[in-house]
Amino acid sequence: MRVLIITKIFPNAAEPLSSPFNRQQFAALSRLCEVEVLATLPWFPGARLLRRWSPAGQVAHVPRHEVIAGLSVHHPRVFFIPKVGHALAGAFYAASLLPGALARRGRFDVILAAWAFPDGVAAVALAKAMSVPVVVKVHGSDIDVLGKMNGPRQNLRWVLPHADAVVAVSRSLATGVAELGVAPDKIEVVRNGVDTTLFRPMEAHAARRDLGHGGDARKWLVFVGLMVKDKGILDLLAAFGRLAARRADVALAFVGDGPLRVPCEQLAAPLGDRVIFAGARPLPEIPLWMCAGQALVLPSHHEGTPNVLLEALACGRRVVASTVGGIPDVINRRELGELVPPSDVDALEGALERAVDAVYEPVEIVAAAGQSGWDDSAAHLHGVLARVVAARTT
C-alpha cells in the first residue's frame, strides 16, 4: 500500500520540534507501507519580507524537500490570506496542491490528511482528482475550535462526510466529527502511542542532576507544551502564585516556548527562581523534565488527546489537567491524577497542592496507565487505510 500524507502539522528545518506525535506515528507507519509526506507551509506574496511578524515568513527558507525520521518529506507552499479568508482556505489549499497531486496520480493508493481544516477539506477534493480514497485524521482544535467557526464549520459540514473514513484520537473528537455529519460507521478512534524506550520512570533527583538542578530539593510541578493562552498557562501561573505564597517547598517549570513566554516571565518575576523557564527542549530531554517533577500540569481550555499526558504517565508521573477534549479518557482513574474545570483557578490551586503532597510509586502509575507504543498506533491506522483501499477496489 502506498500512502500520500498531507498535513500542515509536521516538523521542518525551521520548526524541528513541531508535532512530534505525527513524526513518530508516520515513521512507524512507514515500516508497514510506503509513505510520502506533503508537509505544507503557508505562503503569500511578500511573506519572506515579513518574517519578523509572519509565520509564513519564518518558514520561507525551509527547503522544498527533507528527509525526517527516514521519511521523504516535501514542503509545498500553499496560498493563504493572513488574518482573514477562512471560508476560502480549503479551496486555496487544494488549488495550491493540485499540480503536485496530479503529477502523483497513479503512484498512491490512498491519501491521509492529518488535520481537518483546511488539510482534510482540500484532501477530499484532491482525492477525487487522483481517483483514490481519502482518510482524514483529526487531532483536537481542528474540530473543537476551527469546527465552531462559521467559515471552517460550513466547509467541514460540506466536505468531511465525503471522506472514506475519519480517524479521531479521542472519543470526544469522534463525537464532534459525528456532529459535523460524518456517518458513525466511517469514524474510527485511533489513539496516539508513546515511545516507551524514551519515556520511562526515572528518579527525580537523578533527572534534576542531569538537567543541572541537582541541588534543588523542592517539589516541582512541570508544564510541557506551547506557551499560548489556550493551554491555560495564565491560569497556572495565577494558581501557582497563590500556592507559592503559602509554601516555600514548591517550584514550577515551564518547558516550551511561544508568544506568551515573555509575558509569563514578567508576571513570574516576583517569584524569582520559584518559576523556571526552560524554553523549547529537544524530545530526548523531555522525559528528564517530566521525571524531575512531582506532577505534570496541563490546564488547557481545549484539547484532543494530548500526547504529553501519555508521555508523563509513561514516565510514572501523575497529572493535573482540565476536563476538556479527550483528557478524561486518559486520566480515567484517581491514581493517575486529578482533573479540574478549565479556567477555574481556585480548583487548580487546590489540585496543585494535592499533587505536590501525593505519595505514589511511579511504576504503579505506568502499570495503571497501560500505554501502548507507536507501532501499535500505526498498525491500527494502517488497518483503517487498508480497509478503505480494499473497499474502493471491490
**How confident is the model over 178-206, as pLDDT tens digits?**
999 999 999 999 999 999 999 999 999 99
Distance (Å, whole) CA 109 – CA 164 = 13
Nearest CA to 73 among 100, 41, 107, 38?
Answer: 38
The DSSP 8-state label assigned to residue 62 in this structure reads S
Give the pLDDT confidence score for residue 370 in this predicted structure: 86
CATH topology of 2-193+374-393 equal to that of 204-369?
A: yes
Query: Per DSSP, what are the bridge partners of residue 3?
Result: 35, 110
Mean pLDDT within 234-244: 97
Query: What band does 390 get if pLDDT is binned at 50, 70 and 90?
Result: very high
**In this predicted structure, which of 46-55, 266-275, 289-298, 362-371 has the lowest mean pLDDT?**
46-55
Q: Three cell numbers at 178?
A: 459525528
Mean pLDDT within 255-278: 96
Mean pLDDT within 83-103: 86
Give the pLDDT confidence score for residue 57 in this predicted structure: 78
Mean pLDDT within 66-72: 96
Nearest CA to 174 among 338, 340, 384, 314?
Answer: 384
Distance (Å, whole) CA 227 – CA 252 = 14
- Residue 243 CA neighbour count, 13 Å, CB half: 28
Could you tell me the residue ranges of all domains in the chain? 2-193+374-393, 204-369
Average pLDDT, the chain: 93
**109 and 134 Cβ atoms separated by less than 8 Å:** no
- Cα 161–chain centre separation: 24
Is the pLDDT assigned to residue 84 strictly greater than 70? Answer: no
Most distant pair of Cα atoms in the chain: their distance: 67
Distance (Å, whole) CA 336 – CA 178 = 29
Distance (Å, whole) CA 295 – CA 298 = 10
- Cα 100–chain centre separation: 27
Query: What band does 21 get if pLDDT is binned at 50, 70 and 90?
Result: very high
H or E element at residue 385: helix 374-393
Give the pLDDT confidence score for residue 394 in this predicted structure: 72
- 10: three-class secondary structure by DSSP: coil
> Which CATH number describes the domain made up of 2-193+374-393?
3.40.50.2000
Is the pLDDT assigned to residue 53 strictly greater than 80? Answer: no
Q: DSSP of 350-369, one letter per residue?
A: HHHHHHHH----HHHHHHHH
Query: What band does 49 get if pLDDT is binned at 50, 70 and 90?
Result: confident
H or E element at residue 178: helix 171-179
Mean pLDDT within 25-44: 96
Q: Where are the alpha helices (DSSP H) in 256-306?
A: 261-268, 286-292
Is the pLDDT assigned to residue 239 strictly greater than 80? Answer: yes
Query: What band does 83 get if pLDDT is binned at 50, 70 and 90?
Result: low
- Residue 74 CA neighbour count, 13 Å, CB half: 14
Nearest CA to 239 among 344, 324, 148?
Answer: 344
- Cα 118–chain centre separation: 17
**In this predicted structure, which of 46-50, 259-263, 295-299 has the lowest mean pLDDT?**
46-50
pLDDT digits (tens, 9 = 90+) for 108-149: 999 999 999 999 999 999 999 999 999 999 998 899 888 888
Instruction: From the options 3.40.1370.10, 3.40.50.2000, 3.20.20.70, 2.40.30.10, give the CATH code of 204-369.
Output: 3.40.50.2000
Distance (Å, whole) CA 43 – CA 284 = 31
Give the pLDDT confidence score for residue 393 in this predicted structure: 80
Q: Is 83 left (phi over 0), alpha (psi -120 to 50) or beta?
A: left
